[in-house]
Structure 1
């Protein structure tokens, strides 16, 4: 599993925004296969080899029927699975429909699984000089719905641009915020998730295509993601996502210490700028501002904001997961009323917020447990 934890997938953005006409299992097999491609040395004859052990580990399959289930998944992938790709040209759109993996071979006496990619899909996997997105295959591993996988890849496509342009300085703060808080029309989102004819009621669409997939993404990937609906008149026209990258998540842990040791002072400052921008964009920062617990002078204090992201926001995240958004708002309102003389007596705002949130969460969870026992 160690190799899986550090392996990446890279795909062209046109493939990221394409329509995956397949369910989650063929899609996950495709993603795992793509993670074996070295773009600097593309596979000869478009062939890679997967390990059965890795496949079963990736899908967390350990029962006695794993071989028959794998066979069924492969057959379904080859009979049904294809990508519908829409490419924006000057004159209009070009459309392609591609079966990504037409050939799979294996036997019952060794561990190798032969995978041959369709030559037509390869430009979207190896010609990646511009407009491509990279993400961790370990994040895909724990996603259990097609919609979660599709959304995660699209969110990565947007967020990765904010990180890239944060370092090279070719975008202003508003543009960086737009990448971290991307907006997509409901029409385009339905097309991308292949739900044009499904979940016609916005309530059902919200549950199955937004709420549950985003819960999976927040639980199992690098990102905490929330969203809000944007109305035009009485109709929901667009969805705006709010993406916050977690610190010290999965594959980043493996190389964090070595990478930090090798950073130059300039690189460290650039990384701090990225982390600071992420912390400022965190929804909890806005909640603290709305509750009059943070002010403009606080936002300008990079060290203070980074401390909040490291010491306080993980507690708020747990509080919301365990008790709901309403509990956090009640807590912040209580803290605001208790901090009338904050400027004189509560100079260490980070420590104060951390301690108060920890105490509140502990007491509420204790009360919740007592009620269960009753």
Structure 2
């Protein structure tokens, strides 16, 4: 009863719909279940077997875990041939697992992932990335960190564009030289935040200087 597989393949794909559903609603024959629970000899009457092997354990699972587990009996002829379990994850205050079945949510998630991939490619091609490496503000290891590249392209490079319009590319280089000279070790842990704060503090000064010279 691997619910984790259901969650994984519901998001990632790679399995047929019926296969994915079988992870949430697994079926097992009574014979296999008796072997697994070592009750081949015990509880000959199915009502006793059902109480001790199914009802009582599943009540405990539902009570003490994050899952609600129910079952249905499948007959073959007049006897019970197999059991189908139905597993549902309980909804917690901070639980978003219910969104697995929300198509709009999944499509939005896919769009965001695609947007992030585009930002990464743009950052890799940006001349600002090369300048940051040349000024030792980025390392080549940072280039494999998707979060850093997305943060730079989304939050830092647009501000560098503003500075470039005001001071040209050399103005950006001068700013990075200053930032590097003032950099503390702690800032390396969150380089995007550090660079964003630096340019946000510098741009108003540049704009005021330009106004004073008009």
Question: Higher helix proportion, which one?
Answer: 2
TM-score (norm 2): 0.47
Structure with higher Rg: it is 2
TM-score (norm 1): 0.28
Question: Higher strand proportion, which one?
Answer: 1
